[in-house]
Structure 1
Amino acid sequence: MKHALGSITRRERRFAAAGVIIALTLLLPVVAVAEPGLLPGTGDPAQPGLELALDVERGDSCRDTLPADTPTYVVCRWLNPPQDAAQVATFWAADDGANLKAAQPLPARYVRCNQKTDLSTSSSCKGGETLCEQLPDDDWYQCTDQTTGQTTYERYVNGTRTVRTTPPTTATPKATMTSAPASAEPTATPTASTPLPTISTEPIDPTATATTPTPLPTVSAETTSSAGTGPLAKAVSAARSTTQRLRIWVESDLADDYAAGDPQFTTALNALIAAAKHPGVTGVKFADNLAYTNFTRAQDVTRFLKRASAALRAALPGKRLSIGVVVPELGCGSAKACIQEMRTKAPLATKENVTRYLKTAAVDRVEVSTGLFGRTYARHKVPDPKTGKPTPITPALAARAQWMSIRALEWDTLTQIGAREYGLAHAGATSPWDKATATAQIDARIGTAIAFGIPTITLWGHKTADGDQTYRLLDADLTPNAVWTALTTQRLRGRLAVILDPSSTERGVTTDLTELAKVASDVFILT
């Protein structure tokens, strides 16, 4: 580290110091929020979008949010509370960074202005510079004033600076420095014996988080023709032709067909394989909300996964495989009654069972549904993170508890974990949310997921029929609303995906995909 810092110029050191100050001012509050710090929607009931900081003195809130069997290493504490970040930055920046200079370890070589206030009033050392170089095998520095030529010997011990005019008895003085240090040293060039590291550039797919009532929305469409002129082929071609190129997935839920018997399962499987062979298709999603319905035993779920995965991998080498899961109990946090109710509701979709399914290594990506069961969660209470008083489980608290639990379960070591967000869609032609509400909902749902390290979020509800209701993200006829405008301006495109049913569009496949591509980088096309 000392050699690395010692090889940069004085100008570069200034830039580095400025970067440290900016990072302390801006990034520490962000890190605090991400781990996790702010609780969306837990403020004044009259202001549902307000976020309140946790009580810093109270500290760890995970014990109140997570179930009792959570590993003890899962904690959430502030790295630096936002209200203290400015004070921290001021401390390190004050007096021309004197505290930074006093901190240990120092680089092997460094330069300082003779007048402490120089850099605070100008971009140069008007009073001249002093160059310091560490003496061999010692913590003493030989410092030469470049204006007067005077040499001193200095060291810092526990932040205290000691200066002497004669060399320390344990050190050998160096030749007086009369020219710029570090910047004059040559930079090492990698050779065949020291190759540069290889960096993976595999693209990341989109993600999301949300709330709606049960039963689960239907996400599979009627099977369409896989011929080159069929609706799916046209949708794939349109997705490839958008100005902002979309990564394309084809999606179907084979669980129903598997439960219906081999003939129907084989037919559905072959249709999905044919759809995935269209040029430009990245991967296949072959099950949604796995084991919530259709199965009576966990062993049958495992057999389905292994059988479908083996057939798809054999027929579609190089394509990525994905499924969706829903684990209702994860949104309960520490509410035991809620956990028991959710396990009764979905006995094959508990966290223990889903962990077993993921350990089959059948898929490359799993989308965890979020934004569901809001009415059920609201009937149960957990301690408020700030006051400790019982409070109903809000969508924001449910999302936070879910992603914290998934981190504790270590699912990301088994496969790529994404989210499928159901709570940003609205029923009918027009969204009822204004700008403030839409922004608060996006922060609580998508922001919570991203803050807990979920890389990709898929948004459900582009003109999707569920029962007698039609759900939308935009308003009817692709009219932008407050949600869509906020998603467009927040520049989350690389982390978001959408779902398209070619048989249910607002203004046609091509026009719809052109609009959807403004917000999302991936599209799941239903077959």
Structure 2
Amino acid sequence: MRPRLRQLFVIGLALSLLGIGVPAWSEDDPRSCNDLMAGDTPAYVVCRWMATPDEALDIARFWLANDGENLEAAGPLDSIGVDCGDAGNVCDPTPPDGVGDGQAHDGGDPDVEGAEDGGTPECKAGEECSVPPAGLSAEQISQAEESTTGKAVKSAVAAGLRVWVDAELADDWKAGKLAEGAKQVAALAAQPGVVGVRFTRQLGDGQLFRSADEMDTFVNEASAELRKLAPGRKLAAHTMVPLFGCGADDACKTAITQKYPLLDPERIGAWLAKGKIDQLALDSGHLATEYTTWKIDAATAQRNQWIQVRARAWDAYAQISVEDAALAAPGAPQLTGEQATKAITEHVASPLQDDAAETVTLWSRYENGQGQVSRAYGEKWAANTTWDQLKKLTSVRPRLATVYDPAKPEVDAATDLKALSEVFGQVYLYAA
């Protein structure tokens, strides 16, 4: 059935590009959302609901009902294998020349002569067995490993989490100390299990940069420095694009452009197209209140945003993520099961279902300027309905991430990160 549906979709897309009308995508179609797009949107960009908000809520209820009974019953598909005993099947245990030795090995066995601990070569006296990245010394990497964040990296990796080092290099750049700050971050990123570095947060939302050109210079220089110091690691940035929430409302677009002059979609898109960053996280904190003047609610603003992201094909250049703190509440969430399901549908399922955000980063704990702690779980990991509902999202766990500050643990880093791994597949660790 799926290949058939995919063929129909491709045929429909081809017809739309050729200017041939397709009734199912007309303005009268109840699933059409073309009215949310700007008037200057190209004709080949078509918006159609995969599932309406009501349908999305029903879907979430179905999978979360009875403690996720339906989700567990679904299970993985049977794996595809070859029975070597069947007539006509040939299973040759001998690999091609030069590839392996044709023997089965247990995990942790040496993979080269003289290797130990699963493949680490045994060093000879006076021989340098590993070479640190260019610009970093072995001492810098060692010091980073023993820092609070460095130790948290080890705990996160042990818990099965993919790790990002989360830092803010904009202040270092402004102070003329970018190289020094980048080395500290890169030393943390050199540890096994770290997949990337997020080098800035809330980019362009504030008074740090005087102009868009200055912000461009920071992104270009920070990216270049980290590409050199942390080869093989992905680079990420966190910002927002308020203009996207306006949809087709011209008055909204004019006002928002004046309010956020640095957050130009074309400029941000250029960072992706030029390979300056590999992941872009779009904050959703402004969606609920920014557009009330124009009677645009949070759900509509969110839909408008993802329509614009898809129309620009940003996901062709980088991974797009949404960042959201709405599930965390002062002390702990006090939602009922029904309320938690609705909140998860709006803040987790909808962005993924809109097929623009590939990952969702949820703030599970943060502290405001007055020292008040907000959590998405119970204090000291006490039982909590919202957290229990999040635990059921096992099928999308690799797409869920959170932010964690090792300097402000709930209990301790090892305990916290183990608990976080029950919901999230990735974690952004604050670099002290």
In structure 2, relative to structure 1, the CA distance for the partners of 1:375 and 1:279 (3 Å cut) is same
Q: Alpha-carbon deviation of 1:252?
A: 0.5
Pairing 1:61-80 to 2, within 5 Å after superposition = 61-77=32-48
- Does residue 414 of the first structure (1) align with residue 317 of the second (2)? yes
Which sections of structure 1, spanning at least 5 residues, go unmatched? 1-19, 32-53, 84-185, 190-224, 382-392
What amino acid is aligned across from residue 63 of structure 1 in structure 2?
N
- Computed over aligned residues only, the root mean square deviation of the Cα atoms, in angstroms, reads 3.2
In structure 2, relative to structure 1, the CA distance for the partners of 1:342 and 1:478 (3 Å cut) is farther
**TM-score (normalised: structure 2):** 0.69
What amino acid is aligned across from residue 291 of structure 1 in structure 2?
G
In structure 2, relative to structure 1, the CA distance for the partners of 1:445 and 1:369 (3 Å cut) is same
1:331 to 218, 237, 245: 245
1:495 to 390, 393, 399: 399
| Cα-to-partner distance string for 1:498-519 (whole Å, 9 max, x where unaligned) | 1110011111111110110000
Asked whether the 8 Å contact 1:328–1:350 carries over to 2, the reply is no
Asked whether the 8 Å contact 2:26–2:32 carries over to 1, the reply is no
Q: Structure 2 CA distance, aligned partners of 1:522 and 1:425?
A: 18
- Does residue 301 of the first structure (1) align with residue 301 of the second (2)? no
What amino acid is aligned across from residue 452 of structure 1 in structure 2?
D
Q: Alpha-carbon deviation of 1:423?
A: 2.0
Q: Structure 2 CA distance, aligned partners of 1:490 and 1:253?
A: 31
- Does residue 458 of the first structure (1) align with residue 429 of the second (2)? no
Q: Structure 1 CA distance, aligned partners of 2:304 and 2:352?
A: 14
1:430 is aligned to 332
In structure 2, relative to structure 1, the CA distance for the partners of 1:310 and 1:511 (3 Å cut) is same
Q: Alpha-carbon deviation of 1:302?
A: 1.7
1:471 match: secondary structure: strand
2:349 is aligned to 447
Which sections of structure 2, spanning at least 5 residues, go unmatched? 10-24, 55-86, 91-141
| Cα-to-partner distance string for 1:334-376 (whole Å, 9 max, x where unaligned) | 2223222322221111222222332331111111112324222
Q: Structure 2 CA distance, aligned partners of 1:251 and 1:272?
A: 8
**Segment drifting more, 274-283 vs 57-66:** 57-66
1:316 is aligned to 230
Asked whether the 8 Å contact 1:60–1:75 carries over to 2, the reply is no
Q: Alpha-carbon deviation of 1:271?
A: 1.4
Asked whether the 8 Å contact 2:50–2:354 carries over to 1, the reply is no
Asked whether the 8 Å contact 1:249–1:523 carries over to 2, the reply is yes
2:403 match: secondary structure: strand
1:238 is aligned to 155
2:288 to 359, 374, 384: 374
Asked whether the 8 Å contact 1:370–1:421 carries over to 2, the reply is yes
Q: Structure 1 CA distance, aligned partners of 2:89 and 2:358?
A: 36
Q: Structure 2 CA distance, aligned partners of 1:478 and 1:415?
A: 35
Percent sequence identity is: 31
| Cα-to-partner distance string for 1:397-425 (whole Å, 9 max, x where unaligned) | 22111111100111112212122122222
1:163 is aligned to none
In structure 2, relative to structure 1, the CA distance for the partners of 1:331 and 1:80 (3 Å cut) is closer
In structure 2, relative to structure 1, the CA distance for the partners of 1:74 and 1:481 (3 Å cut) is farther
Q: Alpha-carbon deviation of 1:443?
A: 0.8
Q: Alpha-carbon deviation of 1:249?
A: 0.8
2:145 is aligned to 228
1:463 match: secondary structure: strand
1:375 match: secondary structure: coil
2:43 match: secondary structure: coil
1:360 is aligned to 274
What amino acid is aligned across from residue 405 of structure 2 in structure 1?
D
| Cα-to-partner distance string for 1:240-285 (whole Å, 9 max, x where unaligned) | 222xx111110101112212x213x333222111221223211111
Pairing 1:209-220 to 2, within 5 Å after superposition = none
1:76 match: secondary structure: coil
What amino acid is aligned across from residue 202 of structure 2 in structure 1?
N
Pairing 1:196-275 to 2, within 5 Å after superposition = 226-242=143-159, 245-259=160-174, 261-263=175-177, 265-275=178-188
2:291 match: secondary structure: helix
2:145 match: secondary structure: coil
Q: Structure 1 CA distance, aligned partners of 2:404 and 2:248?
A: 36
1:447 match: secondary structure: helix
Pairing 1:54-93 to 2, within 5 Å after superposition = 57-59=28-30, 61-77=32-48
Q: Alpha-carbon deviation of 1:79?
A: 7.8
**TM-score (normalised: structure 1):** 0.57
Asked whether the 8 Å contact 1:459–1:499 carries over to 2, the reply is yes
Asked whether the 8 Å contact 2:279–2:320 carries over to 1, the reply is yes
